[in-house]
Structure 1
Amino acid sequence: MCRKGPHSANSVPRRGQRKHVLARSKGVQKPNVQDRHVMIDGQYRRMRLCTRCIRTITPRART
């Protein structure tokens, strides 16, 4: 639904204070995307949804 995908980021190892930052290496951060069955137009379809979208479409129980 929201079409999230992986994006690049730096992996920064640290040893103590900021001035002791070592070399940065490239890395990939992946979104929390899960397979869910969702009813669309009266039919269940399997979709890959991020957890934010799952929380949006799932009714919450009242406490």
Structure 2
Amino acid sequence: MSNMTGAEWRKSSYSANEGNCVEVADNTPSVVGVRDSKDIAGPALMFAPEQWRSFITSIKAS
């Protein structure tokens, strides 16, 4: 997978102000990144866009 150069990270609108949440970067063409908002320099999970869409669809259906 690619690196996250140029990624624009965002938090969910449901996140609390303490910052205990995940951030998602879905503006890159080949990968969706997910990271811990408390450790922005730390590792990020990377998913293919199709995998991320499937995950989000499953969450919304629950």
CA radius of gyration, larger in: 1
TM-score higher than 0.5 here? no
Give TM-score scaled by structure 2 length. Answer: 0.28
Higher helix share: 2
TM-score (norm 1): 0.28
